[in-house]
Structure 1
Amino acid sequence: METVVRRGRPGYDQRQVLEVAVQVFIEQGYDATSVATLATRLGLSKSALYHHFESKEALLEVALEEAIGSLEGVLREPDAKAGTARERLEHVLRGAVLVLVDKLPFVTLLLRVRGNSGVERAAVERRRAFDREVTALVRAAQKEGTVRDDLRASVATRLLFGMVNSIVEWYRPTGPEGAAELADDVLGVALDGLSKRG
Structure 2
Amino acid sequence: MTDGPAERASRRGRPGYDLDSLLTVAVRVFNERGYDGTSMEDLASRLGITKSAIYHHVAGKEELLRLSVDRALDQLFAVVNEPEAQRGPAIDRLEYVVRRSIAVLVDELPFVTLLLRVRGNTAAERRALARRREFDRLVSDLVERAESEGSIRRDVDPALTSRLLFGMLNSIIEWYRPRRGLTAVDLADAFVKIAFDGLRSRPDAPLSPAPDPGQTGSPAGA
Give TM-score scaled by structure 2 length: 0.84
> What is the number of residues matched between the two proteins?
194
Counterpart pick for 2:14 among 4, 9, 27: 9
Q: Which amino acid aligns with 1:117?
A: T
Give the Cα separation in 2 of the matches to 1:174 and 1:8.
34
Q: In terms of mean alpha carbon deviation, does 173-182 or 103-112 score higher?
A: 173-182
CA RMSD of aligned residues (A): 1.5
Give TM-score scaled by structure 1 length: 0.94
With CA pairs under 8 Å and 6+ residues apart, which has the higher RCO, 1 or 2?
1
The equivalent residue for 1:75 is: 80
Counterpart pick for 1:48 among 44, 50, 53: 53
The equivalent residue for 1:90 is: 95
2:56 aligned counterpart, secondary structure: helix
Residue 131, structure 1, aligned to residue 136, structure 2: yes
Query: Superposition pairs for residues 79-158 of structure 1, below 5 Å?
Result: 79-158=84-163
Q: Structure 1 residue 58: deviation in Å?
A: 1.4
Q: Structure 1 residue 17: deviation in Å?
A: 1.3
Give the Cα separation in 2 of the matches to 1:72 and 1:104.
16
Give the Cα separation in 2 of the matches to 1:175 and 1:128.
34
CA contact (8 A) 1:9 1:52 kept: no
Q: Structure 1 residue 51: deviation in Å?
A: 1.8
User: What 5-or-longer segments of structure 1 have no aligned partner?
Assistant: none
Q: Which amino acid aligns with 1:154?
A: A
1:172 aligned counterpart, secondary structure: coil
Structure (1/2) with the larger helix percentage? 1
The equivalent residue for 2:215 is: none
User: What 5-or-longer segments of structure 2 have no aligned partner?
Assistant: 200-222
Task: Report sequence identity in percent.
Answer: 54
2:178 aligned counterpart, secondary structure: coil
CA contact (8 A) 2:12 2:18 kept: no
Q: Which structure would you say has the larger Rg?
A: 2
Deviations 1:109-164 (A, max 9, x none): 00000111111111100000100110010011011001111111111111101110
Residue 59, structure 1, aligned to residue 59, structure 2: no
CA contact (8 A) 2:5 2:58 kept: no
Q: Structure 1 residue 176: deviation in Å?
A: 2.4
Identify if the C-alpha distance between structure 1 residues 24 and 167 changes in structure 2 by more than 3 Å, giving closer, same or farther.
same
